A = this chain, B = another copy of it.
Amino acid sequence: MRYDAEHKARTRTRVLGEAARALRQEGAAGLGVADVMRRSGLTHGGFYAHFPSRDALVAEALAGAFASRSDAFAAAEADPDPRAGLVRFVKAYLSRGHRDDPGAGCPLPALSGELPRLPEEARRAFGEGVARLTARLGALMAAAGVAAPETAAGSVLAEMVGAVALARALPDRAESDRVLKRSRDAILARLGLGA
């Protein structure tokens, strides 16, 4: 084989990307080494040239999922009008698109339920991700003139996480849509950001 110098790093990145998607789509318990490798165009035996264990992959994929979502959140922060950026973020989070594509979505609604059972490395990555997101959302709220922005950020994040998790869980699509809409309306109203 003997590939060029960056080949191995590129493969690793590809595997990690597949794992970050599978992690949110199938859950941490459902993430399979052989499956992730197959989707990366490789056989399962090569996995251990890149990662020491499945647990290490889970933790790193979780961190990767937070990192890619961080990029998405930056779009809201980049809006010259903080209020408009905040509205955009809330609407995107509680959208049908986010509900219907967990693999590319926020790790919180997809994974918080099984996180208590994951090893410490993954839990630490999760804790840091939540803390960072809460802080950034609080800063955006402060910039948008929301009162008590820290409490508001925690409250709004919790509601959005719960609403998306419930919306994904409900078998009836109309009821699922209603859950998203109710929380969107309630959050924007309570932040004084109109409907």
Contact = CB atoms under 8 A, between A and B. Distances in A.
Main secondary structure of the interface of A (DSSP, over half): helix
B158 A123 contact: no
A161 B170 contact: no
Residue of A116, A120, A169, A182 contacting most chain B CB atoms (<10 Å) = A169
Interface string A152-190: 101101111111011011111001001100110111001
A42 B166 CA distance: 35
Interface string A87-116: 000000000000000100000111111111
B116 A113 contact: no
Interface residues on A, range: 35 or more
A155 B126 CA distance: 25
Smallest CB-CB A-B distances: 10 pairs: A162-B162, A113-B113, A155-B186, A161-B162, A115-B169, A159-B159, A154-B182, A158-B162, A158-B163, A112-B165
